Amino acid sequence: MREEGEETIVSDLGESLRWLRNQTLAMKRPPKQRQLIEDIKLTNDVELYKGVLISRVGRRDIASAIMRVGQAAVRVGDLGVEEGQGSADVRLLFLGDG
């Protein structure tokens, strides 16, 4: 969270899209994934700036912005799991070892 005058910026510091990028070997995101990210941005009223999910709000709306950015981050993370990647695979590998 960073304050700029009367405006406060809440962000995920780029961690959501960085995590998603690390779940695949592809250099570019598939078109379907790009569209889903656009849908997430619109649904949660957040922006994407240089790979960072952000919400710009006045001081009174900080809680709402935190919830929107958090929800968008969770939904972006789910994109990796939906494609058979991410935390679900880690859990299955963990169970298979013991």
* Residue 29: partners with Cβ closer than 8 Å, 6 or more residues away: 20, 21, 37
Q: Which two tokens stand for residue 68?
A: 């929107």
Q: Enter the DSSP assignment of 69.
A: H
Q: Enter the DSSP assignment of 59.
A: G
The answer to whether 79 and 23 have CB atoms below 8 angstroms apart is no
Question: What distance in Å separates the CA atoms of residue 83 and residue 50, rounded to the nearest whole number?
Answer: 24
Is the overall model pTM greater than 0.75, yes or no?
no
Question: What distance in Å separates the CA atoms of residue 92 and residue 34, rounded to the nearest whole number?
Answer: 27
What was the pLDDT predicted at 91?
40
What was the pLDDT predicted at 3?
66
- Each residue's pLDDT tens digit in the chain (98 positions)? 666 677 889 999 999 999 888 877 777 777 888 899 999 999 999 999 999 999 998 878 889 999 999 999 999 988 876 655 444 444 444 444 44
What was the pLDDT predicted at 86?
44
Q: List the chain domain ranges.
A: 2-97
